[in-house]
Amino acid sequence: MRVFPHQSVAAFARGYPETPHVLRHRLDADARLSLDRLAQLGEDLPAASVEYNRGDLPIGIDGKPGSNGMTIGETIRHIATSNSWAVLKNIEQVPAYEALLMALLEELRPSIEAATGKMLTPQGFIFTSSPNAVTPYHFDPEHNILLQVKGTKVMTQFPAGDTRYAPDTVHESYHLGGPRELPWDESLRSGGLAIALEPGEAVYVPVMAPHFVNNGSEPSLSLSITWRSEWSYAEAGARCFNGLVRKLGITPAPPRRWPARNTAKSLAYRAWRKAFGTPG
């Protein structure tokens, strides 16, 4: 049985790649997504593929908030009471989860590749969150669909590419190795789109669209399926180029959003990196 109904695939094709929208899915009883299996997965993954923090965080934070005092296994097994959120990154490192990720993406591949070309760098992320936990304001470089499996949450998204919500300098810093957390001011809230998710629903998040997440009153489990495109890589390369140019005292024009290609700046950055190495 298909996980994404045909109506949702059609809605995705209409909205991709720049319009956030809600989809339906049937991913609700997969044994790979039980808490025990996920706790074991967290313990088996390399440390760089695991992140977990306290759940009682503000929307805006300055850097990483630090440990919750537990192991990743304890955090997930007791997510109902651990006051935490946890993410297992790059689950495709494990064959069983790679199969899950790729099966989902194959249902969407025709729509993806019709719009943005070859689907590149598929990756999966699993989120577990305690009741009322907050995932702070940030952005991500991938095309992303977040599937809600258990519990409820509200994701508040902001327009991608709008400097009111993510200044160009923050984009450039991130792409040159800085944090993805964004500066928050409560005056920004009115420009956001609050999307409520229940089990069986999913939301599409455009590349670099700022967002934060408020979990509901029960523990939450979500699966994020992501991919890149030549367009998203070119946008990232252009941001890197602009960051280098800005260090010379020049204020560069920002990259343009889809369907602009940003090819020249991206190629210029690749040439610079080949000659001088990745900026440190």
pTM reported for the whole predicted model: 0.95
Give exposure, 62-96, as e/b (b: 16+ Cβ within 10 Å): eeeeeebebebbbbbbbbeebbbbbbbbbbbbbee
Residue 28 has a pLDDT of 86
Element of type H or E holding 192: none
Compute how many other C-beta atoms are within 10 angstroms of the C-beta atom of residue 271.
Answer: 11
Residue 119 has a pLDDT of 98
How far apart, in Å, are the Cα atoms of 126 and each of 89, 180, 246? 7, 18, 36
Spatial separation of the C-alpha atoms in residues 181 and 184, rounded to whole Å = 9
Q: Dump pLDDT digits (tens) for 145-193.
A: 999 999 999 999 999 999 999 999 999 999 999 988 899 999 999 999 9
Residue 277 has a pLDDT of 87
Comparing C-alpha atoms, which of 35, 47, 232 is closest to residue 126?
35
Residue 58 has a pLDDT of 86
Question: What is the residue type of 39?
Answer: A
- β partners of residue 120: 228
Residue 62 has a pLDDT of 67
Spatial separation of the C-alpha atoms in residues 89 and 204, rounded to whole Å = 18
**pLDDT < 50: residue spans in the chain:** none
Question: What is the residue type of 273?
Answer: R
Residue 35 has a pLDDT of 95
